[in-house]
Structure 1
Amino acid sequence: MIDGINIELAGFDCRLWKNNPNLKFRYYTEEETKEVLGSRKAYFKGLTFTIEPKGKAKISGSIHTFFNNGDNNATRFTYDDFVNAVSQLSQFGVNPKTAILRGFELGLNLDTTACKIDNKTFIDSILYCKGATRCDMMINEKPGFGYIFKTTNTRYKFYDKSEHAKVETSELLRVEAKFTRMRAVENYGIKTLFDLMDKEKLSKLIVDKYLKAIDETIFFEWDLIKSTRKIPTKYKSKFKDLRNPDWWIKDERSRIDRHRNKLLLEKLVKLYAKRNIKNILKDLISLELEAVTRNKNCYEYTEFKSLNNWNKPDNAKKSVTNAQRIVGCDSHDQREGKKKKKYCLICGKEITGQKSDSKYCNDQRICRDKAYNLKVSENRKKKKSDKEKEILKLIKNLGSEFTLTRTTNPNRKKAKGVKARKTSIIVTINGKRKYYHGSQARFFLDEFEKKTENQPEPELCT
């Protein structure tokens, strides 16, 4: 089940590796001084041993291939085999309790010959997986043998293992979840290589991060329902969208809406398709899990009890409530929790799928332009208000202790074809001049006239 690993050894003495005859380190040196440049690396049975310049020791690669003496990782790799492989690492000074995990893989090799469905059919039937765009996976430098779905912390892979490992005896489909960042599993208490040998932690991880992803992945076998002829009229137009992989990810739909559409598609597949390829895949996974987790001395499926009830009619229900699991999207950081919905500040349209700093919708810039105009208008009002407060304070405090000079007639009406002139006033206070123009000057005059209505008018110079 566990395959690729990436571990860092804490407090490790690198001389143990340098003196090990099985490890032949390669490195670059400076031509004149013979100084070692970069990291030292050695390759042994599918694992890469790295000694960094600062002395850190790391091991990465396939522990499954290491267990198979470097042959391949296309065989069945049980839990007991994994424990055995970890114990073999002790010859390289690896202590599982101090081997810090930086990433690892969960994967199964499924023999699809019994169900008589080729690997390509399984792979091409995937419509949606964790909200990620489907990307071609290059197998032996050739496309068309697998797909990869990249999320923030995890990569989900579905590919033809028989083509990858050049195995001709059987059809092997690989279903894999690769945790590229450990924060994806930090809630399970898995930090070291030793934690992966804890059956309780591992079984819970398999259920939540591997099997649940299969439950939420949406499959549709195109060849079984090529046309909408048999589909009820009320579902015809909707069905055309549901079978399109781009439709599921083009908009940021809510989990509930996505789940509702998933149930509708599965209902139509159940009624009008001759087989359900997702159920077949889940049966294959269940059978392989039984073999992978079974103890060699026990023929009953009891080693990982939490996996027993996965592939049953009620497997999609939570243990506490009767609510069904809702199709998720793992394209954001797990620790961020549920993504909050966002709406355009102008028209109120939902914009959750836009950039994180978006405030307005992208409909032909109408809302953004409107928001800009409102902002300009608010700034003008604020500036005008501040200036008017200054004028009122000036009139109140100084009364008639200043001289006004009016340069134009504020009541003059604009004549057609004649260039208008602004109303301007000059206020002289203690020998210093202050200028006011346009609306500010008119406001000054109006307020000054109100103030001096019952008082002698000050001297006006024209």
Structure 2
Amino acid sequence: MIDFIKIIIKELRPAILEANPLLDFYDTINLTTGEMKTTNRNGNKVTPSKNASYNGLEFKIYDTGTIAIAGSLHKYWNNGAHNYNDFNNEAVSFVLSDLKTKFDIEPEQCILKCLEIGINITPPIPTNEILDNCLLHKTKPFEYQKNSDEGKYKQVEHNEYIIKIYNKALHYKSKGFDIKTEIMRFEIKYTTLTRLKQKGIFTLQDLIDYGLHNFKDDVLNEWQNVLYYDNTTQIESLSKTIQKRVIEYSNPNYWTGLLNNKQTENYKHHRKQLNIITQKHSNKVQEMTAEIMRKKID
């Protein structure tokens, strides 16, 4: 379930990594002046660092002596190639053991700064249909994103975390991978440590001790927080008045309009009505998807 992480390594001398033959460090310098790069493309100040990569993980040694690693542990397990397959507890243990063997990095040394927890499933209907019908998460609308590494996906950004939903099969098929089934990924990206600290998670070892399966409720709850319009709803079985209302329900602008006009109670009422209609007159895709998630995590 772990994917992207960003960690700070404590009690590890930079010289150990610098001397490692698996890491080829380079500096970012101005080729004209020979000066170290101190600002990024947006003009913001950055601390100069030496950089190296291995199997999808980026190693940084800052001039201050701080060591940071960022990247996907899931991709690391696949030699940096992909993260569309299953990454279970045994695979996580292998990766952590490999980091110890190759780089002398222990999980208790790894202070978490960012973490992605997610699950890949075979959905009950085509993934793109599910993405198109995920309208809001809580009260925020989903937006399509496109990234050269992550492909096309939907996300909602909250203060402490981001919800992402991907069509993993489509993304990696476009890269030449032979994938036979639909693959949907649902993911929580913790951008601050608040929620993790509440669980007693500060380091990578704390995360392992807590148990990845204990994120099951978090994943399922956040999926249920998705305002989902079920396109299997049998509209023809409804009265003309309800049909008109259901058509409105399928439009994310209807919901954001209620929220923008501060009609919170109206929003809650109509969301409840949508749930009732979905339960009675559809194949209950969101519920089916939750059950697949539940079984997959178990």
Report if TM-score (shorter chain) is over 0.5.
yes
Aligned residue for 1:332?
A: none
Amino acid at match of 1:278: Q
Distance in structure 2 (CA, Å) of the matches to 1:59 and 1:108: 22
Q: Deviations for 1:362-405, whole angstroms, at most 9, x for unmatched residues?
A: xxxxxxxxxxxxxxxxxxxxxxxxxxxxxxxxxxxxxxxxxxxx
CA contact (8 A) 2:25 2:52 kept: yes
1:58 deviates by: 0.4
User: 1:183-262, aligned counterparts within 5 Å?
Assistant: 183-199=194-210, 202-207=212-217, 209-222=218-231, 224-225=233-234, 227=235, 229-232=236-239, 235-236=242-243, 238-250=245-257, 251=259, 252=262, 254=264, 258-262=267-271
Q: Deviations for 1:42-76, whole angstroms, at most 9, x for unmatched residues?
A: 11001000111211100100001111222211110
**Structure 2 residue 187 is the aligned partner of structure 1 residue 179:** no
**89, 94, 105: which is aligned to 1:79?**
89
**Structure 2 residue 12 is the aligned partner of structure 1 residue 12:** yes
**Structure 2 residue 169 is the aligned partner of structure 1 residue 159:** no
Amino acid at match of 2:230: E
**255, 274, 277: which is aligned to 1:265?**
274
Q: Is the alpha carbon distance of 1:30 and 1:282 closer, same or farther for their aligned partners in structure 2, counting shifts above 3 Å?
A: closer
Distance in structure 2 (CA, Å) of the matches to 1:14 and 1:199: 29
1:41 deviates by: 0.9
Q: Deviations for 1:304-353, whole angstroms, at most 9, x for unmatched residues?
A: xxxxxxxxxxxxxxxxxxxxxxxxxxxxxxxxxxxxxxxxxxxxxxxxxx
Q: Deviations for 1:93-124, whole angstroms, at most 9, x for unmatched residues?
A: 22211211001101111123xx4x21111111
1:216 deviates by: 1.9
Q: Secondary structure at the match of 1:198?
A: helix
1:157 deviates by: 0.9
Comparing 256-265 and 187-196, the one that deviates more: 256-265
Aligned residue for 1:44?
A: 54
Distance in structure 1 (CA, Å) of the matches to 2:63 and 2:272: 54
1:178 deviates by: 0.8
Amino acid at match of 1:230: S
How does the TM-score come out when normalised to structure 2? 0.84
CA contact (8 A) 1:139 1:164 kept: no
Percent of matched pairs sharing the same residue: 22
Amino acid at match of 2:107: P
* Higher RCO (C-alpha 8 Å, min separation 6): 2
Distance in structure 2 (CA, Å) of the matches to 1:130 and 1:79: 30
**122, 125, 129: which is aligned to 2:133?**
125
Q: How many correspondences in the alignment?
A: 280
Q: Secondary structure at the match of 2:204?
A: coil
1:181 deviates by: 1.3
Distance in structure 2 (CA, Å) of the matches to 1:179 and 1:138: 20
CA contact (8 A) 2:165 2:186 kept: yes
Runs of 4+ in 1 over 6 A off after TM superposition: none
Distance in structure 2 (CA, Å) of the matches to 1:155 and 1:6: 15
1:34 deviates by: 5.6
The structure with the greater share of residues assigned to strand is 2
**Structure 2 residue 75 is the aligned partner of structure 1 residue 65:** yes
Q: Secondary structure at the match of 1:165?
A: helix
Structure 1 gaps of 5+ residues are 291-462
User: 1:105-124, aligned counterparts within 5 Å?
Assistant: 105-112=116-123, 115=124, 117-124=125-132
Q: Is the alpha carbon distance of 1:158 and 1:244 closer, same or farther for their aligned partners in structure 2, counting shifts above 3 Å?
A: same
Distance in structure 1 (CA, Å) of the matches to 2:145 and 2:30: 37
1:170 deviates by: 2.2
Distance in structure 2 (CA, Å) of the matches to 1:158 and 1:287: 18
Q: Secondary structure at the match of 1:210?
A: helix
How does the TM-score come out when normalised to structure 1? 0.56
Distance in structure 1 (CA, Å) of the matches to 2:34 and 2:18: 18
CA contact (8 A) 1:121 1:221 kept: no
